[in-house]
Amino acid sequence: MYESRPHHQRFDLGEIKDWTIKMGYFLELDHGLMGFFPAIITGMKMMILVFERELIFDIWQILEPRPSKLAEATFYVSEEHGVAFPTHDTRSHVENPIHFLTRSQFERLFEKYPDTFGWAPGLIGNDMSEIEFLQTIKAAADVAGIKLEDVPENLMKALLKESRELEEKLFGTQQTTTEEIAAADFQHA
């Protein structure tokens, strides 16, 4: 699962007494490939998990429009500790608590840092603009510790051209705009 805890705390289900089971909601890119690319709080690299269905739709509206879907799962939740564990994954009970977001936390973050909500980086798809593609390459380079100013501009342009040609082979030339995709996603939600 994507990095879901800003502080490396260890919890055991037996140590916390206030557990409840709740339906949790999160968003992820809909790409048909292997991999999990959730909506995140970008500065913390924290997956956005909420337990209010209306809140996840509010968050969805402020995210960059990309083919995405609403996902839901049951979680063991400790309100006192602000953490949750998926009920289906017993391995996560000690190592990977997921810190969830409440409406008041969302409102405070959005007021102070409106651009802090986004998609997990790394997925390049046929719905990306040239700028989005280059931003993804930059984010990947930052994670890998590569300075893009050291990469010749003609190489970046060649990468972009190659990616567009591959996209055309894989997906054809007809593309749906991100606005059309976003409108369709919200109509079905």
Distance CA 25, CA 41 (A): 15
Residue numbers of the domain that contains 70: 20-119
Distance CA 9, CA 148 (A): 35
Choose between 33 and 22: higher pLDDT: 22
Token digits of residue 144: 């890998």
Has residue 145 been placed in a domain?
yes
Place of tokens 């990095």: 3
Q: Which residues pair with 27 in a beta bridge?
A: 70
Task: Return the SS3 of 84.
Answer: strand
pLDDT given for residue 182 in this prediction: 45
Same structural domain, 67 and 147: no
Has residue 25 been placed in a domain?
yes
Same structural domain, 138 and 74: no
Final residue belonging to a domain, choices 76, 91, 119: 119
Strands 68-78 and 20-29: antiparallel
Q: What is the pLDDT of residues 65-122, one digit of tens each?
A: 888 899 999 998 988 888 888 888 665 455 667 889 999 999 999 999 888 898 887 6
Same structural domain, 26 and 53: yes
pTM, two decimals, is 0.61
Q: Which residues pair with 24 in a beta bridge?
A: 73
Same structural domain, 157 and 112: no
Counted domains in the chain: 2
Place of tokens 């995210």: 63
Distance CA 85, CA 91 (A): 10
Same structural domain, 34 and 115: yes
Has residue 51 been placed in a domain?
yes
For residue 21, pLDDT over 80 is answered with yes
Has residue 11 been placed in a domain?
no
Choose between 63 and 90: higher pLDDT: 63
Confidence of residue 43 (pLDDT cuts 50, 70, 90): confident
For residue 179, pLDDT over 70 is answered with no
Stretch among 9-13, 33-37, 152-156 having the lowest mean pLDDT:
9-13
